[in-house]
Amino acid sequence: MKDASTRFPRRALTAAWMGPLAALSLAGCSGPVNNQQGYMPEQPVAFSHAVHAGQYGLDCQYCHVGAEKSRHAGVPSTSVCMNCHTQVKTDSPEIQKVAAAVAENKPLAWVRIHRLPDHAYFNHASHVGAGLDCQTCHGPVQEMVRVEQRERMTMGWCLDCHRDTAAKQVSAPPPSAPRAGELLALSSGAPAPEPLKAPRILQPPTDCSSCHR
Amino acid sequence: MSDPLPKYWQSLAERAGDPGALAQTQDEFAEPLPVGVAATPPDASSRRDFFKVMGLSAAAAMVACQRAPVQQIIPYVARPDEVTPGLALWYASTCNGCIARCGLLLKTRDGRPIKVEGNDEHPVSRGGVCAVGQASVLSLYDASRARYPTRGATRVSWTDLDADVTQALRKAAEAGKGIRVVLPWHLGPTAEAAVKRFLTAYPTARTVRDEALGELSAIADAHRVTHGVRAVPDYRFDKAAVIASFGADFLGTWVSPVAFTRQYAESRDAARRRTMSRHFQVEPVMTLTGAAADRRFVVAPSDVALVLADLVRRLAVKAGREVPGLASLPPPALDEASRAELADTLWAQRQDALVVAGGDDVATQVLANTANALLGNEGHAVSLADGTALDADALSLGTLLTELRAGSVGAVLFMGVNPVYSDPRGAELAALLKDVPLTLSTSDRRDETAVHVGLHAPESTALESWGDAEVRRGVVSLRQPAVAPLHETRSGVESLLQWAGAPQPHYDFLRARWEAEVFPRASGLGQGFIAFWDDALRRGVVTLGAAAAEAPAFREEGLAKALAGVARHAAEWELVLYPTVALRDGAPANNAWLQEVADPITKVTWGNPACIAPARAKALGLKDGDVVQVRAGSTTLSVPVLVQAGTHPSVIAVAVGYGRTQAGRVADGVGVNGYPLSAVVDGRARRTVPGVTVQATGEQQPLALTQTHHRLEGRPHVREAELAAFLANPRAGNEVHAGHGGGGHSLSLWSGHEYKGHRWALAVDLSACTGCSACVVSCQAENNIPSVGRDEVLRRRDMHWMRIDRYYQGDEANPQVVHQPMMCQHCENAPCETVCPVLATVHSSEGLNQQVYNRCVGTRYCANNCPTKVRRFNWFDYEHAEPLERMVLNPDVVVRSRGVMEKCSMCVQRIQESKAAANREGRPLRDGDIQTACQQSCPAKAIHFGDVNDPDSQVARLAKDGRAFRLLEELNIGSSITYLTKIRNTGSGSGT
Amino acid sequence: MSNQHLSPLREPLVTEPRTLGQLTEEICAPMERAPTWKWWVAFGIAVSVLGTGAGIVGYQVATGIGTWGLNKSVGWGFDITNFVFWVGIGHAGTLISAILFLFRQKWRTSINRAAEAMTLFAVMCAALYPIIHLGRPWLAFWVMPYPNDRGSLWVNFRSPLLWDVFAISTYFTVSAVFWYVGLIPDLATVRDRAKAGIRKAVFKVMSLGWTGSNRTWSRYETVYLLLAGLATPLVLSVHTIVSMDFATSVIPGWHTTIFPPYFVAGAVFSGFAMVLTLMIITRVVLGYEHLITLRHLENMTKIIIVTGGLVSLAYATEFFIAWYSGNPYERFAFMNRAFGPYAWAYWIMVTCNVVSPHLFWFKKIRTSPAAIFVLSLVINVGMWFERFVIIVTSLHRDFLPSSWAMYTPTMVEVGTFIGTFGLFFTLFLLFVRVLPIISIGEVKSVLNFAREGHGTQPHPPAKPVAEEPHPVAHRPVASAPLAIATRKDAPV
């Protein structure tokens, strides 16, 4: 009993924290905390990223074409699957589902896994342009047979990375494709835009309006 | 803790004595809790168990409510090449909102048009769009539009309808009965060609041109008298050093307000040109143009023509010419000095002077033409050679009525007109239509005319169909659809071609005509038609190198006859029916954005009051909202009164465009319809009606005003200077600012913000701003701002992030007016930021005052503490009642829920987008890369956005200008918005 | 207590001769007998008003704050007016208890309990407003700083609203503890009088094992003194901080440094008026005229004269400073108060708060419960209008004339306000029924015989005598017999 009484204050302290914390996290449900970490729903077609991205090493952007230029990485249109699968593995029942969808001109309804609340704006292009690997946020997708949300994807998680990147003064990779201005210049004969003097040091914003607007 | 084994088993494994399961029972938590409680050794304390249970149930509750409903991603089956989800696609096009036909850029997202912007490359409109043009994107999604063709009220297929129409037309033609196509004046060259094709197919067919406001036909008919051509000249306000407008609201509603506003703003850019035009306005009611004028003369409606006649007489004397038909006219009720000043100032500039007249009276227009001819400004400030010719053979509505009464008409097709609503003889027309075998309307909804016709063949909206326009000779613009027709509608041109027996898609017809007629006019291009066509599509407009044309000469022959009708109608009351900036003739009435934008002068939303002069109101004991009965002939109208400064005492002015009955959910029953009160003189409807009676009813009907106090109370929020004073001292009128040292005594409790990169700011030129409110609607469209309706505006809860404050000063019989665009000032030391308990409004590292909706709990403390009262609160969930209308929402901006504060974000989504684009392309941002919605649409280019940390940016230069001042500098809020002093050229010599 | 010296100059605080037993009996009586029909009627009304108010609040929360008459310029109206009003009312209790206790004002003893209860109930009514006036009241907990997964999204410590949250919750907590601690000896008395059953069990728990021993009393007195010391600065801080909601803003009419003392004075002013209102009703209804005597009422009217004077001075100062500052916005704001569209509210305020307290200079009025009652109501009305005037007239016409607007409350706002009265009176009526509304232990100490030290002998004094103030340290001795009186075996 002596032992218990000496330990009591510490436990009481912990307990005192627990109570309000539990209450608040309970209330927090109605708020924007929408952590779906570990979410791994079944998809209409048993598509395996482990096979496509892992085994065959397809580039992510072969299918997710928007990632480089748009807010949305995008899910490939069904016809993209058929680029290969008119020839490859046509006898698989899963592929036949896709082929049927194309034939009926009826899109497949995939279940969305990575999802931010409606009031949070995320731009894939900015992150891909800054040289981030897809895996940084999406986890080792090339190993996933069925995709799951690996990271917390909460506001704190986003901000941690933004703050960390700013602190480390990471520089962005040079733009891979010719810049739009240069393309225009090539075709029209107008002077090309000035080249960048130094590589861009990433300054990931931490302003609220970067994501909430 | 004597016995660690539980008395009750929790699982089968445990019961079977599985050691792992037993070990687990040592601790109630199978997994460690994130807060680290489970890391402490287990003990027997019951208190601890209590908290464990509590924690577990909380965790369970969290898990239970953590999963949001399943969302699906539905990709394209085959993605169109040009579409990348998340990226906007822009189409260059031409506005169809009014006769001005401004150049547009239509922004589409994922196939939906969501925003209308001005096309900077259009040489006439030059990047501006008015409120009506901005709102046309909402009209596209109007749930009250007709969705399929009908016979009576029953749905028919297009094939059936076409068969019916063709058969009836043939029958009418064979019987020698007239076929009448009632059209607006301006259709565009291709549509006119389709009309011609139709007329050729049916020999008895004739066009009838109807125009609710009658302004264009008055101008065209006056030119037929004075120049022998039914045409509208090209007015060039940028070339005018003196402008005399007789009731022409050229900045608001007259002919081509966007283009004129730009020209006007340029001619009055005193800072750049070191001179500015002087603008006289002679009018009975305050218009947007009158509000901008340097000198405004308030005269009775029937005196406007007399003042103009007097001007012509004086100019004739100066020019040493004789003008017939003026001798007998009585002198106007305007003092001699003013009349002399007007004539002298105009004569001094002659070629660079411009006289324009508004209204639907041909005689007044004839006088204006005569004045211009006497000044000899053809080819300078006015150019008939560059103008547009109108249908010379068209009949008038009066003629049509005569024919209908005679029973000689076999078919009437209404295309894009609504005369039953907009003409005083509408009721008679509706009755006469019953006896016509074929009556048809192509209106986009079953409107007041369409409910009286047999067949309804709904036309696609301008955003869904092709078209073209030539608003100035040689400037041909193209209208291309931004979306496939949402409903079973068809373009009017296609219908006409179908009925003419030459069915052809609109696109093919248009392209063929361009190849045959437009392309040959384009000289020196050195490219094939396909390249020309692609370029035209991309730019939306082509400028043809037109050879200078000879303008028809001025003729005096018809003058005396044309002026015979000019006389003074001394009456106790004269009714003036005028169009508003938002609703114009009433065609776009079923548009909540337009109903809710406050009239720039009256500040009334959702309705049309009767404006009367303050002196008259006082004499009659009337105040705002008192309902009066206006009687013209046998027609009466009950309408609430608004005491409007600057109205002539004999005038009662009612806006047209309201009182729709068949426009749809939004417009029906809003305001009163003034058109039936119009007079009919010589077969023409006239919107100025002398001799009406006005009677108070004792009833009250509150007016939904967005601003109820109209004077500045001596506060220096708006500063102005006279041109002469400004030229002598660039800080004229802005001396207070100097006192504050342009930022002033900046003692602050806070250490201040540091901006390492950009610092965004706006500059607003009060000299350029006319108050046209295009920016207000543009902002509303861009930022998903809800329309709240009349009741909420009555409660002073309008939601606009951007508003235009209008203040009067001086004599209320004829006050001076200033407009001040007001948006969030993005203060450096923002009062709102300190008071929010939850940090829902904070300062960004780029100087923006950010409102974080999802953090806001809605204390409204920030709005209370906002000295400019620009914050807007979501009192309710302002839902879009019609799902279709949600299509207009901008996916880059969140839709705010009830209970949160919102306000101008300086279009932060545009900033982000441009920054991301620049980063992607590896280039720095340039000044002008980012345009806010208000800036983009501003016809006067009064708003400038940019980075004040970039010393070369326009906004940084303007911030240091002598005219620059900020609101409430003495509060040390450090506003990011720079206002520039308003410069007037009244000629009074001294600045204030 | 033979060494105690009695002053013939001081009037007795309890005017009727009572023995300790009689007093206990008398104060406990309302709790132990069945409620009268009067109580039922009053309670019925209060509960139905509360129910209606709750329904209205429910409707408002479900539909949106737009059901109130607020607009883009006037973001606060009835809500914050009532909030400040109730917080003001909630001032007097702790003031009477703590400050008067520290100043050894014995006359507080028969009113402090009820006044403290009033404080708690008023603060509860007040605390309702900051929550229901939110656009999203279900997120009210965001004003609490707590660890979260939003990148450490914290609260804004610069915001006076946040200070308010802390000030009011602290004030409420300390007031509640102070009240409860003061209740403990009486709870024990009730426990001891109760027969076995729920009542006994509840009071047993609530009285925390009070034995009435000398040591208990000694500790109790120390704790009570400490709590009084702790509560006193809070009385000042609460309204100081409430006033900062306005004072730290930039709005003319709000932005002024006089607000903290002005608000505290106003709060004491209104709080005392409310105490008077309630006490006058209570003493009549429960027949406590000898415990809550005219002297009590008179003392309170004197405080009202003083605080009323302070408030008047503040009004005058505001006007003077507005003129003296030369700030045109400030000048306009005050001219607008007095002569603008809300001038009626301003002049009601002036009449009630500046003019009416001066009637208390007349002894006749000061000693007429009816007159005091009417005037206390008048002052409450006046103080409500003071808040209304400050909030609404400052907001409705501020810097930009384009945004000037009028504010008219809706039935929902009025209903909510009336509903808070329902809440207040429901709680107060329950309090009257379940707890001793006069501090038995403390009142006994001001009984004449107690001061004379005659122990257990009843001694109706022939002439009024008053007590000599004595150090608190002596209290346990003086009150020792009281402890005996509360014991089960005591002859009561």
SS (H, E, C) B562-616: HHHHCCCCCCCCEEEEECECCCECCCCCCCHHHHHCCCCCCCECCCCCEEECHHH
Check pLDDT > 80 for residue C11.
no
Q: What is the pLDDT of residues C233-276, one digit of tens each?
A: 888 899 999 999 999 999 999 999 999 999 999 998 998 899 89
**Burial of residue B883, with CB atoms counted within 10 A of its CB: 0-12 exposed, 13-18 middle, 19 or more buried:** exposed
d(CA B167, CA B176): 14
Q: Could you tell me if residue C2 is inside a domain?
A: no
Contacts of A109 in chain B (CB under 8 A): 72-74
% pLDDT > 70, chain C:
88
Query: Quick check: B905 and A174 CB within 8 A?
Result: no
Contacts of A32 in chain C (CB under 8 A): 150
Contacts of C151 in chain A (CB under 8 A): 155-156, 158-160
Query: Quick check: B798 and C402 CB within 8 A?
Result: no
Q: Give the pLDDT of residue B355.
A: 96
Query: Quick check: B84 and A69 CB within 8 A?
Result: yes
Q: Could you tell me if residue C478 is inside a domain?
A: no
Portion 187-206 of C in contact with B at CB < 8 A: none
Residues B352 and B401 in one domain: no
Nearest to C110 by CA among C275, C277, C305, C357: C275
d(CA B422, CA B448): 9
Of A30, A155, A160, the CB nearest to C138: A30
A137 is in an annotated binding site: yes
A81 is in an annotated binding site: yes
Residues B814 and B948 in one domain: yes
Determine contact, residues A202/A172, Cβ cutoff 8 Å. yes
Q: How many domains does chain C have?
A: 1
Structure tokens at B826: 């993005």
Q: Could you tell me if residue C485 is inside a domain?
A: no
Query: Quick check: B835 and C153 CB within 8 A?
Result: no
Q: Does A27 touch chain C (CB under 8 A)?
A: yes
> How close does chain B come to C234, measured CA to CA in Å?
21
DSSP bridge partners of B820 = B805
Determine contact, residues A58/A48, Cβ cutoff 8 Å. no
Determine contact, residues B698/B959, Cβ cutoff 8 Å. no
Portion 39-98 of C in contact with B at CB < 8 A: 63-66, 69-73, 75-76
Determine contact, residues C268/C314, Cβ cutoff 8 Å. no
Instruction: Give the strand order in the sheet containing B409-414.
Output: B154-155, B150-151, B455-456, B438-441, B409-414, B178-183, B205-209
Q: How many domains does chain B have?
A: 6
Check pLDDT > 50 for residue C455.
no
Query: Quick check: C150 and A152 CB within 8 A?
Result: no
Interface partners of chain A (CB pairs < 8 Å, 3 or more) are: B, C
Task: Please list, in sequence order, all residues whose beta carbon lies within 8 angstroms of the beta carbon of residue B750, skipping any fewer than 6 positions away.
Answer: B829
Q: Could you tell me if residue C148 is inside a domain?
A: no
Residues B162 and B287 in one domain: no
A208 is in an annotated binding site: no
End-to-end CA distance of chain C: 22
Query: Quick check: B898 and C140 CB within 8 A?
Result: no
C158 or C482: which leads in pLDDT: C158
Query: Quick check: C144 and A156 CB within 8 A?
Result: no
Q: Give the pLDDT of residue A16.
A: 54
User: Which residue segment(s) compose the domain that C318 sits in?
Assistant: 26-143+159-436
Can you list the residues of chain B whose pLDDT is less than 70?
A: 1-68, 524-526, 546-548, 737-746, 989-992
Tell me which of B140, B168, B203 is where a domain ends: B140
Contacts of A24 in chain C (CB under 8 A): 141, 144, 146
Residues B821 and B946 in one domain: yes
Contacts of B822 in chain C (CB under 8 A): 400, 402
Q: Which of A75, A194, A212 to mutate to test the interface with B (most CBs of B within 10 A)?
A: A212
Contacts of B796 in chain C (CB under 8 A): 71-73, 405-406
Residues B449 and B497 in one domain: yes
Q: Could you tell me if residue B585 is inside a domain?
A: yes
d(CA B576, CA C98): 74
> How close does chain C come to A32, measured CA to CA in Å?
9
Residues B897 and B972 in one domain: yes
Mean pLDDT, range C328-343, rounded to an integer? 95
Of C139, C154, C160, the CB nearest to B839: C154
Residues B871 and B830 in one domain: yes
Nearest to B317 by CA among B340, B351, B336, B290: B340
Query: Quick check: B77 and A102 CB within 8 A?
Result: yes
Tell me which of B509, B543, B577 is where a domain ends: B543
Tell me which of B108, B140, B172 is where a domain ends: B140
Task: Please list, in sequence order, all residues whose beta carbon lies within 8 angstroms of the beta carbon of residue B314, skipping any fewer than 6 positions away.
Answer: B339, B340, B343, B347
Mean pLDDT, range C39-62, rounded to an integer? 95
Q: Give the pLDDT of residue C149.
A: 83
Average pLDDT, chain A: 79
Q: What is the ipTM of this complex?
A: 0.87
Portion 260-319 of C in contact with B at CB < 8 A: none
Contacts of B59 in chain A (CB under 8 A): 22, 25
How many residues does the structure list for chain C? 492
Contacts of B923 in chain A (CB under 8 A): 179, 181, 193-194, 196
Q: Give the pLDDT of residue B174.
A: 94
Average pLDDT, chain C: 85
Q: Give the pLDDT of residue A213.
A: 86
Give 3-state DSSP helix, strand, coil % of chain B, rounded to 5. Answer: 30, 20, 50
Give 3-state DSSP helix, strand, coil % of chain C, rounded to 5. Answer: 70, 0, 30
Portion 124-183 of C in contact with A at CB < 8 A: 138-139, 141-142, 144, 146-153
Task: Please list, in sequence order, all residues whose beta carbon lies within 8 angstroms of the beta carbon of residue C180, skipping any fewer than 6 positions away.
Answer: none
Of B51, B79, B850, the CB nearest to A208: B850
A127 is in an annotated binding site: no
Q: Does A194 touch chain B (CB under 8 A)?
A: yes
Portion 140-169 of C in contact with B at CB < 8 A: 140, 142-143, 153-156, 158-162, 165
Of B707, B869, B874, the CB nearest to C135: B874
Portion 19-38 of C in contact with B at CB < 8 A: none
Query: Quick check: B48 and A115 CB within 8 A?
Result: no
Structure tokens at A28: 């927090």
**Burial of residue B87, with CB atoms counted within 10 A of its CB: 0-12 exposed, 13-18 middle, 19 or more buried:** middle
Q: Could you tell me if residue B371 is inside a domain?
A: yes
Backbone angles phi, psi at B478, to 5 degrees: -115, 140
Q: Could you tell me if residue C456 is inside a domain?
A: no
DSSP bridge partners of A169 = none
Q: Give the pLDDT of residue B153.
A: 87
Q: Does C395 touch chain B (CB under 8 A)?
A: yes
A158 is in an annotated binding site: no
Q: Does A32 touch chain C (CB under 8 A)?
A: yes
Residues B241 and B378 in one domain: yes
Q: What angle do CA B463, B469, B474 make, to 5 degrees?
A: 145
Query: Quick check: B858 and C65 CB within 8 A?
Result: yes
Q: Could you tell me if residue C1 is inside a domain?
A: no
Ramachandran category for residue B971: left, alpha or beta (phi over 0 → left; psi -120 to 50 → alpha): alpha
Q: Residue B982: helix, strand or coil by DSSP? A: strand
Structure tokens at C426: 């429901």
User: Which residue segment(s) compose the domain that B104 sits in?
Assistant: 88-140
Give the CB-side neighbour count of residue B575, counting CA atoms within 13 A: 29
Residues B970 and B840 in one domain: yes
How many residues does the structure list for chain A? 213
What's B749's domain CATH number?
A: 3.30.70.20
Residues B257 and B293 in one domain: yes
Contacts of A27 in chain C (CB under 8 A): 141
Of A20, A21, A155, the CB nearest to C149: A155
Q: Could you tell me if residue B560 is inside a domain?
A: no
A60 is in an annotated binding site: yes
Query: Quick check: A30 and C139 CB within 8 A?
Result: yes
d(CA A186, CA A181): 9
- Taking CA atoms, what residue in C is nearest to B972? C250
Check pLDDT > 50 for residue C478.
no
Residues B507 and B371 in one domain: no
Q: Give the pLDDT of residue B31.
A: 36
Query: Quick check: C139 and A21 CB within 8 A?
Result: no
Q: Could you tell me if residue C45 is inside a domain?
A: yes
Q: Could you tell me if residue B764 is inside a domain?
A: yes
Residues B169 and B283 in one domain: no
| Reported confidence tier of residue C291, pLDDT bands at 50, 70, 90 | confident
Query: Quick check: A66 and B86 CB within 8 A?
Result: yes
Q: Does C398 touch chain B (CB under 8 A)?
A: yes
d(CA B646, CA B665): 34
Q: Could you tell me if residue C138 is inside a domain?
A: yes
